[in-house]
Amino acid sequence: MIIITQPNATEEQIERIVARVREFGLDPQISRGASRVIISVIGPEDLAREKPFAALPGVEGIIPRLKPYRLASTEFCPEPSSVAIGEVKVGGHEKVALISGPCSVESQDQILSIARTVKKSGASILRGGAFKPRTSPYSFQGLREIGLRFLAEARKQTGLPVITEIMDARDLSVIEKYADCLQIGTRNMHNFSLLKEVGRSRLPVLLKRGFSATINDLIMSAEYILSEGNMNVLLCERGIRTFENSTRYTLDLNAVPILKSKTHLPVVVDPTHGIGLREFIPQMSLAAVAAGADALMIEVHDSPDLAKSDGQQAIVPDTFAELVPRLRAIAAAIGRSL
């Protein structure tokens, strides 16, 4: 943090600023110019916040430390890191991974059938919700452990590793028994208790961006997980809330290159929730790969109009099968593969 004083700041004010910096156990370094003084604050800056300093008399402005995160940053790890979900690596320079499956696990038949069909089309990871975050307390809340067992069975039969959402720290041990990757949903991105808990898990974590979280907020939430020792975090863009109302959310593909420049973590894009309209999933998937996404997460349901959740945005297996070769062509055009 760098503190710049006003041209007319008094010596007394400057001394008070310096003293305040020292109260936080930090080491101020003072440069005197013709009319202003600049106070650089060195040390573990997380101890201090900029805003209380900005409020001190004599301060004209503050330049914050540019990056409040460490472990997620490209300074900490300059090369893109890859995260293994089961035996599938996500991230790094080359491969783009394809995560697919239904919104909710509804029955053993359903998940087995969808798992087989998406695997055949080219998916390498299976997704499916057993614990469902629902806006209404009266909506379907998921099959819970039974759903997890169906997912595990689908993995056994198809070889696809499994990713599923965790909503409550108390469910961690049961989910760890069955899943290959934990998902933190958009509504829990700021649930710091849950973030710390999955930070102690042995499983990788796919962290979805809160639908009104800034890109920096997302990285800070990843930092919570990383700071507990779990370095296997994937960041997932899934649409933000804007004034636009012809789409369900606004899929923010700008986040892809920005995240990849700020962090070393793999970046996943979820066009299904992002645009939220079945017929436009293919175009947004193609665009996501072109923008540099390391993986896509696409919901597929064999009878979307019977789905217990999110049917209107899932694509059918045939659409998915037709989409994969087009994704492959885009990946090839930017020097990657699917």
Q: Is 6 exposed, middle or buried (0-12, 13-18, 19+ CB in 10 A)?
A: middle
Q: Are 290 and 336 in contact (CB under 8 A)?
A: no
* Shortest distance (Å) from residue 240 CB to a copy of itself: 6
Nearer Cβ to a copy of itself, position 46 or 75? 46
- In the three-class reduction of DSSP (H, G, I as helix; E, B as strand; rest coil), residue 175 is classed as helix
As measured in angstroms, the least distance from the Cβ of 160 to a copy of itself is 26
Residue with tokens 């109009």: 305
**Shortest spacing between CB 11 and a copy of itself, in angstroms:** 16
- The answer to whether the Cα torsion of 91, 176, 132, 102 is positive or negative is positive
* Nearer CB in complex with a copy of itself: 63/156: 63
In the complex with a copy of itself, the residue whose CB is nearer, 170 or 202, is 170
- Residue 272 CA to residue 276 CA, distance in Å, equals 5
**Shortest Å distance, C-beta 319 to a copy of itself:** 14
- Which DSSP letter does residue 262 get? H
CB of 163 to a copy of itself, least distance (A): 19
- Choice between 88 and 205, CB closer to a copy of itself: 205
Q: How far is CA 5 from CA 8, 23, 59, 213, in A?
A: 8, 19, 4, 32
3 state SS of 227 = helix
Shortest distance in whole angstroms from residue 145 CB to a copy of itself: 15
Contact 250, 237 (CB under 8 A): no
Closest CB to a copy of itself among residues 146, 332: 332
The distance of closest approach from Cβ of residue 227 to a copy of itself in the complex, given in angstroms and rounded to an integer, is 4
The residue written with tokens 């019977």 in the block is: 306
CA dihedral 171, 101, 206, 330 (to 10 degrees): 180
Cβ-based nearer residue to a copy of itself, 171 or 180: 171
> Which stretches within 184-334 are classed as H helix?
192-198, 215-227, 255-262, 271-275, 281-291, 317-333
CA 192, CA 110: separation in Å to the nearest integer? 34
Which is closer to a copy of itself, CB of 48 or CB of 125?
48
Is 88 or 105 the residue whose CB approaches a copy of itself more closely? 105
Q: Please answer whether residues 49 and 65 qualify as being in contact, where contact means their C-beta atoms are separated by less than 8 angstroms.
A: no
Give the nearest distance from C-beta 254 to a copy of itself in angstroms. 5
Spatial neighbors of 64 by CB under 8 A, at least 6 apart, are 1, 50
